[in-house]
């Protein structure tokens, strides 16, 4: 989710507005939705879909029609009638894992918990006097108002009930000072994302990344000064504004003077985004302005850049509350049973998702980027409608997402393992002991040999890349084999093509 959020994040806040509190400026736009977010959140995203799709650029390029088609095919997960959406999470940055995730949205059409339960095969389970559904996929859907729903995971019943009692009546946010100061919904920015990184980065891990950073090495930046500056990162904000064109702005804030990083501001940012799978090529051409405690990157977003941003925003959990009639319609064939139609549609959507993943993989620039896509698509499969779907096919879906996450973990481990091993390689020399040799030794002896540190680190990196990539390829081959098997089994069972 960290990576998902890091992109809607681009061009919206003016410096003067950024310093103003969230509640005062966002009133009437996102304040009520943000009030539902637990105060422990350290990642949050705002999406004003209504304004986004009404922009001149969206109208000129037919975004509404294209988006409806993409949602119907399963390529995107946020329902077309979404008006405003807040995504939030508490991220464990040490392990790159969300402790909890929340989506709260206002929609154009009313939803009922009964409809959600039928579509997802969930169990109606009211919490804190709120209509709720316990889903099979480790989440709860809660109806806050007729057109306002929330999806929260993991499905810890007690925790979600306590959260509801705390936030149902709230109208003001309890966000951290950093998130409150950055999440300002201005009239000309439809997408904003912020990460609160205060106290999130362990010094030892920072030093390990500094030691292995090509960006820092290229300018011979003092490693101690770089580590001190990076450790003081307060947070990151990425904003996107869409009018006749699309524009982005990304800001990095520090608690300490980060002037030591100014010579490598852009290459270091691109390196970090690449490692996290959040690369946007457009940023490489953006202008950069630097202050001792703030770096700002801003510029236009190309069509590909917009797709990249929107794919990172897309949240599979929201698809769970699509109104009746949204999504791809199952074939209306009276000769087929409901199970056959639902199963065929489920498999077709999974096939579309896998096709999209293969297509995106052609443009992959980093292992981290590929890992992020695997995680996103796995989450999307997790949240597909499962009503009347064949149990054997559902088992395949669970297998598929588990193996996609295994592949993602292998790719993520490349950078983590490399940094850990490379940090153990220091510039040092080995010596032989010296002593009097007399007749046999020929006198005193001494030798010294410097370790080839950079060569060793490059070799370590190559080893980890090869290991991670091989594991991911093996998993991909296993998935292909299982896909062939389930297609054959379903075709034989229902006597229709899958």
Question: How many domains does the structure of the chain reveal?
Answer: 2
DSSP code per residue over 427-479: --EEE------HHHH-S----EEE--HHHHHHHHHHHHHHHHHHHHHHHHHHH
Note the pLDDT of residue 383. 72
Does one domain contain both 368 and 286? no
Q: Which two tokens stand for residue 28?
A: 């009437």
CB atoms near residue 278 (< 10 Å):
24
- The answer to whether residue 316 is domain-embedded is no
Does one domain contain both 245 and 366? no
Note the pLDDT of residue 361. 64
Cα separations (Å) of 176 from 35, 44, 179? 12, 11, 5
Are 260 and 225 within 8 A, CB to CB?
yes
Q: Which two tokens stand for residue 422?
A: 């490379």
Cα separations (Å) of 55 from 25, 52, 68, 86, 195? 21, 5, 17, 20, 26
Q: Which two tokens stand for residue 96?
A: 């790159």
Cα separations (Å) of 180 from 142, 195, 365? 25, 11, 34
Q: Which two tokens stand for residue 74?
A: 């399963």
Does one domain contain both 196 and 295? yes
Residue 47, exposed/middle/buried by CB under 10 A (0-12, 13-18, 19+)? buried
Q: Is 149 helix (H, G, I), strand (E, B) or coil?
A: strand
Q: Which two tokens stand for residue 456?
A: 């060793």
- The answer to whether residue 447 is domain-embedded is no
Q: Which two tokens stand for residue 303?
A: 């069509």
Does one domain contain both 357 and 268? no
Per DSSP, 383 falls in state T
- The answer to whether residue 318 is domain-embedded is no
What is the strand order of the sheet 246-254 is part of? 123-124, 132-134, 140-145, 148-153, 97-107, 82-92, 43-48, 191-196, 233-242, 246-254, 294-300, 287-291
- The answer to whether residue 176 is domain-embedded is yes
pLDDT tens digit at each of 498 positions of the chain: 333 333 333 223 222 223 333 333 344 478 889 999 999 999 999 999 999 999 999 999 898 888 877 776 556 778 888 999 999 999 988 777 789 999 999 999 888 899 888 877 889 999 999 999 998 778 899 999 999 999 999 999 999 999 999 998 887 888 998 998 766 645 568 899 899 999 988 888 888 888 888 888 888 889 999 999 999 999 999 999 999 999 999 999 999 999 999 999 999 998 888 776 677 889 989 999 999 999 999 999 998 888 778 777 766 566 666 665 544 444 455 677 888 988 988 898 888 888 777 766 655 556 666 777 788 778 778 877 777 889 999 999 999 999 888 888 877 765 544 554 545 555 444 443 333 333 223 333 434 444 555 555 555 555 656 665 677 778 888 888 899 999 999 999 998 888
Does one domain contain both 89 and 221? yes
Are 254 and 231 within 8 A, CB to CB?
no
- The answer to whether residue 206 is domain-embedded is yes
Question: 283: closest CA among 296, 268, 270?
Answer: 270
Does one domain contain both 283 and 383? no
Q: Where does 172-293 show beta strands of DSSP type E?
A: 191-196, 233-242, 246-254, 287-291
Per DSSP, 259 falls in state G
Does one domain contain both 223 and 366? no
Question: 44: closest CA among 237, 307, 320, 188?
Answer: 237
Does one domain contain both 410 and 489? yes
CB atoms near residue 465 (< 10 Å):
16
Q: Which two tokens stand for residue 80?
A: 């077309």
Taking the C-alpha atoms of residue 93 and residue 89, their distance in angstroms, rounded to an integer, is 11
Does one domain contain both 50 and 162? yes
Question: 298: closest CA among 308, 307, 285?
Answer: 285
The model scores a pTM over 0.85: no
Q: Which domain holds residue 346?
A: 329-419+454-494
Are 40 and 211 within 8 A, CB to CB?
no
Does one domain contain both 177 and 251? yes
Query: In terms of DSSP bridges, do strands 191-196 and 82-92 run parallel, antiparallel, or are they unpaired?
Result: unpaired
Taking the C-alpha atoms of residue 110 and residue 150, their distance in angstroms, rounded to an integer, is 13
Per DSSP, 262 falls in state G
Does one domain contain both 133 and 198? yes
Does one domain contain both 378 and 265? no
- The answer to whether residue 45 is domain-embedded is yes
């Amino acid at each position: 989710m960290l990576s998902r959020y890091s992109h809607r994040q681009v061009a919206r806040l003016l410096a003067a507005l950024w310093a103003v509190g969230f509640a005062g400026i966002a009133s009437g736009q996102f304040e009520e939705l943000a009030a539902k977010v637990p105060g422990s959140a350290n990642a949050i995203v705002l999406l004003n879909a209504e304004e986004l799709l009404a922009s001149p650029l969206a109208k000129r390029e037919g975004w509404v029609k294209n988006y409806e088609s993409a949602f119907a095919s399963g390529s995107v997960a946020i329902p077309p009638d979404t008006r405003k959406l807040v995504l939030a999470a508490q991220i464990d940055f040490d392990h790159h894992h969300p402790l909890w995730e929340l989506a709260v949205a206002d929609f154009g059409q009313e939803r009922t918990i009964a409809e959600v339960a039928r579509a997802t095969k969930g169990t109606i389970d009211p919490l804190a006097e709120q209509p709720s559904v316990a889903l099979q996929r480790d989440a709860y859907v809660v109806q806050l108002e007729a057109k306002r729903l929330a999806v929260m995971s993991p499905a810890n019943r007690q925790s979600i009930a306590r959260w509801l009692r705390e936030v149902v009546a709230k109208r003001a946010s309890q966000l951290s000072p950093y998130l409150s100061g950055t999440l300002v919904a201005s009239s000309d920015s439809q997408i904003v994302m912020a990460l609160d990184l205060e106290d999130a980065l362990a010094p030892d891990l920072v030093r390990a990344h500094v030691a292995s950073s090509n960006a820092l090495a290229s300018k011979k930046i003092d490693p101690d000064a770089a580590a001190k500056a990076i450790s003081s990162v307060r947070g990151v904000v990425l904003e996107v504004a869409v009018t006749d064109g699309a524009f982005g702005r990304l800001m990095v804030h520090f608690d300490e003077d980060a002037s030591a990083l100014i010579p490598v501001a852009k290459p270091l940012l691109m390196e970090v985004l690449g490692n996290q799978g959040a690369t946007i090529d457009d940023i490489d051409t953006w202008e950069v302005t630097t202050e001792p405690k703030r770096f700002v990157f801003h510029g236009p977003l190309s069509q590909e850049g917009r797709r990249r941003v929107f794919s990172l925003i897309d949240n599979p959990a929201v698809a769970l509350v699509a109104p009746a009639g949204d999504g791809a319609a199952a074939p209306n064939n009276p000769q087929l049973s409901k199970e056959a139609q639902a199963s065929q549609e489920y498999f077709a959507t999974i096939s579309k998702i896998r096709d999209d993943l293969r297509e995106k993989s052609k443009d992959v620039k980093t292992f981290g980027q590929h890992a992020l896509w695997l995680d996103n698509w796995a989450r999307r499969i997790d949240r597909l409608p499962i009503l009347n779907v064949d149990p054997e096919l559902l088992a395949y879906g669970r297998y598929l997402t588990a193996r996609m996450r295994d592949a993602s973990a292998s790719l993520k481990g490349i950078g983590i393992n490399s940094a850990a091993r490379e940090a153990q390689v220091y510039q040092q020399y080995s010596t032989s002991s010296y002593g009097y040799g007399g007749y046999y030794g020929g006198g005193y002896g001494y030798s010294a040999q410097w370790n080839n540190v950079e060569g060793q680190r490059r070799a370590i990196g190559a080893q980890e890349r090869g290991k991670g990539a091989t594991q991911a390829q093996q998993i991909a081959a296993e998935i292909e084999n299982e896909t062939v098997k389930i297609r054959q089994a379903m075709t034989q069972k229902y006597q229709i093509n899958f």
